[in-house]
Amino acid sequence: MTPIKGHCLCKSVTFELLGPHNWAGHCYCDSCRRGAGAAVVTFVGHPNGQWSWIGAAPTCFESSPGNRRYFCATCGSSLAYASDRFPDEMHFHAALLDHPDAITPSGHYHTDEHLPWRLDPP
C-alpha cells in the first residue's frame, strides 16, 4: 500500500500514514478552531503504529489536561491532535496531506459549537 504523506507550510515537519485510517471528519469545537485558526478543522484519525513523523519533530502543546496539539516550531503550522480519550490514534489535519483527495470525510463532530457564519460558495 502506498503511504499518504503530508507536511507543514515550511516542510520542516512531514508525516507519513500507512494503511487505512480509522475515520475522517470535520470538527467544529472551540478548541480545535482556535488551535488551527479556522472555522472548522478536518481530521484524519490514524492508528498508532501506522504513522510516523519524518524530518523535524513537531512541538507539542498540552491545550488542556490529556489533550495535546502538535505544531511546527519553525512555521507554526498546526499539524495534529492527540487525546487520552483516544489513546490508540493520532488525528492529523487533512488539509496538510499531499493529496487530500485521498480521504473522504464523513463525520461531523461538535456541531453544537459551530460558528454562526453561513459559508455559501461564490
The residue type at 12: S
What is the Cα–Cα distance from 89 to 113, expressed in whole angstroms? 23
Residues with Cβ within 8 Å of residue 52, at least 6 apart in sequence: 15, 16
Q: How confident is the model at residue 116 (pLDDT cuts 50, 70, 90)?
A: confident
Q: Is the pLDDT confidence value at 1 over 60?
A: yes
What is the Cα–Cα distance from 122 to 115, expressed in whole angstroms? 19
pLDDT in tens, 24-68: 999 999 999 999 999 999 999 999 999 999 999 999 999 999 999
CB 47 within 8 Å of CB 89: yes
Cell numbers standing for residue 27: 470538527
What is the Cα–Cα distance from 83 to 70, expressed in whole angstroms? 11
pLDDT in tens, 71-91: 999 999 999 999 999 999 999
Percent of the chain past pLDDT 70, that is, above it, reads 96
Domains of the chain: 4-113 (2.170.150.70)
